[in-house]
Amino acid sequence: MTEVVPLARPSITQEDREAVMRVLTSGRLSGGPSTLGFERRLASACGVAGAVAVSSGTAGLMLALQACEVGPGDEVITTPFTFVATASAIRHLGATAVLADIDPVSWNIDPARIAAAVTRRTRAVLPVHVFGRPAEMTPIREIARAHDLRIVEDACEALGSHIGGMACGSMGDAAVFGFYPNKVVTSGEGGAVTSNDPAILEWCRRQRNHGRLPGSAYGSPVPGHNFRISELQAALAASQLRRLPSLIRRRQRLASEYDRRLSGHEEIVLPDAEQNDMTMAWFAYVVRLADRFDVQARDRVRARMSDLGVETGHYFPAVHRLPSADGPGMRVHDSAAHAEALSDRVIALPFFHDLDGDQMDRVCEALISCVGRQRPA
């Protein structure tokens, strides 16, 4: 039987393994030199003053938002086309996620919709660099300045992406990365907050550890968390980060190869990465089916691809249509029609460092044939 082509798989080298083993033999498994080293390396990769490593991207979002004084009764404007955690982090703080629709080409939040969604309760904007494509940060920064709003970038999918010469993770008051195993760099589980603001960095450092800074007494006026990362995880992430440029180059090559093999099929809309001033680190390769495919037809394509041994993902269900959307802390501003239309038609294709030519052939053949079979008569 032919092997299944997985949706994602981490790239783990001998060096990565040795880095983790060194921590194990050191006996220091938390709060040590690997965490500090990883934070320094991440801050330097993003061109920011500092980074605070935490246990997950979601934990990082919660800390960064809290550091920007988001709390009960506040509104935070974000996108409906994102991983659910973006909105959950806002809601866990007692604030409301106000969803402003996306641009149908970039799939990122539309700055004009952000401007229209601002109210006197708005405290912050949380743009997401979806699949590693940088959000339109110049207009977003202008809107934030005009309305005195904080910006927290959700850069969980965008380590290594740049726009206008600036790294994702360096363009807001704070930014958050995630290191789940499907990411360009992984620590198994983990995340980090980056910032140029010493007060934000100190808040995150303190609150990830029950309100304490290393070697100091409890100093936090509000309850802290255990959002620490272990030394084992930090060592793995630091080792991976060392080869970030080559990890990104590989993903860029894979994305071009997918583009080449799938272009010319009018039922398959390829991800748009054409903008001149941007470098995209490619977290995922996601295609959109043409408008005439409805959600059932898309699901049939995915099911048939699965029968052919090709794993696919649904990145993303629009967050306001998930079961968890019922209840307080979320509302759509005006309309999320573009996000809904996209969400009904997206298919994430297998995408990882060691994806080989034969596997890519199988993915493309499966997609093209399954889309063909679903074509309306």
Ligand X SMILES: Cc1ncc(COP(=O)(O)O)c(C=O)c1O
Residues in touch with ligand X (CB under 6 A): 56-58, 82-83, 85-86, 128, 154, 156-157, 178, 180, 191
Nearest Cα to Cα of residue 338 among 40, 173, 130: 130
Of 23 and 126, nearer to ligand X (C-beta) is 126
Nearest distance, CB of residue 191 and ligand X, angstroms: 5
Q: How far apart are CA 109 and CA 153, in angstroms?
A: 12
101's CB contacts (< 8 A; 6+ apart) are 79, 80, 109, 110, 113, 333, 334, 335, 336, 337, 338, 339
Rounded least distance, CB 329 to ligand X, Å: 16
Judged by CB, which is closer to ligand X: 157, or 344?
157
β-strands 162-163, 166-167 pairing: antiparallel
The pair of structure tokens assigned to 358 is: 């034969």
Cβ at position 154, least distance to ligand X in Å: 5
Residues 6+ apart with CB under 8 A from 167: 45, 46, 47, 48, 160, 161
- CB closer to ligand X, 147 vs 321: 321
Tell me whether residue 130 or residue 278 sits nearer to ligand X (CB atom). Answer: 130
Closest distance of CB 192 from ligand X, Å: 10
> Cβ of residue 151: shortest distance to ligand X, in angstroms?
15
Supply the minimum distance, in Å, between the C-beta of residue 101 and ligand X: 17
Nearer to ligand X, 37 or 191 (CB): 191
Specify the residue, 80 or 366, whose C-beta has the smaller distance to ligand X: 80
Whether the link from the prior residue into 283 is cis, omega within 30° of 0, is: no
* Chain residue whose CB lies nearest ligand X: 57
Residue 152, both tokens: 């927290």
- DSSP lists the bridge partners of residue 212 as 218
As a whole number of angstroms, the distance between CA 189 and CA 287 comes to 27
Quote the least distance from Cβ 266 to ligand X, whole Å.
Answer: 30
Minimum separation from the CB atom of position 376 to ligand X (A)? 33
**Closer CB to ligand X, residue 262 or residue 339?**
339
Q: How far is the CB of 88 from ligand X (least distance, A)?
A: 9
Which residue, 46 or 370, is less far from ligand X as judged by CB? Answer: 46
- Least separation, in Å, of the C-beta of 93 and ligand X? 15
Q: Which is nearer to ligand X, 163 or 268 (CB)?
A: 163
* Contact residues for 141 (Cβ-Cβ < 8 A; gap 6+): 151, 171, 172
- Of 35 and 82, nearer to ligand X (C-beta) is 82
